[in-house]
Amino acid sequence: MDYIRQHQSHEEDDNTKSCPMIMMLHTGNCESIVFKSIKVTTAEEFALAVLVIFVFAIAYEGLRFWREKMYNDYMNQTSSCSSKEAQLAGRRNIKQLLIHKVHLTQTALHMIQATVSYSLMLIVMTYNVWLVLAVILGATVGYFFFGWIRQRSIDVAENCCH
């Protein structure tokens, strides 16, 4: 504990408070979150950071389910027997499939989802109990709000025309 007190009371240049990286679960409101420049030192800043992380985790779950819904909608649209898209899909080459609007959109959303996912992982790796809880509760609330999408998704095999 002396190490923590020593480093928390240490003042750096520009009168900014130094926040040590504590490698075990802890509480407190002095944290550098993801980047050194994102540093919270007061209770008010910390509460705002917890709220933003909570919303960030909800948005991550929303993005996951939105991507899945977009994919399922596209697959349902192209799997119907009368769809022109379905008839043309069999004749497309790899280049046409790679530059298809749906594939490009899914690729961009996947990049955003991976970035958010790794950011949330780095937030958890601060080992601050309140930040970990913000991520877990945000993901739980996000699943609660967006989970019905997965439960209502239609299996593509059920719409078989043959």
Give the pLDDT score at 156: 45
pLDDT tens, residue by residue, 46-97: 999 999 999 999 999 999 999 988 888 888 877 765 555 555 555 678 888 8
Spatial distance between the Cα atoms of 29 and 8, rounded to a whole number of angstroms: 11
Spatial distance between the Cα atoms of 81 and 62, rounded to a whole number of angstroms: 31
Spatial distance between the Cα atoms of 74 and 67, rounded to a whole number of angstroms: 11
Give the pLDDT score at 161: 40
DSSP state letter for 35: S
Give the pLDDT score at 78: 74
Give the pLDDT score at 94: 85
96, 60 Cβ separation under 8 angstroms: no
pLDDT tens, residue by residue, 98-117: 888 989 999 999 999 999 99
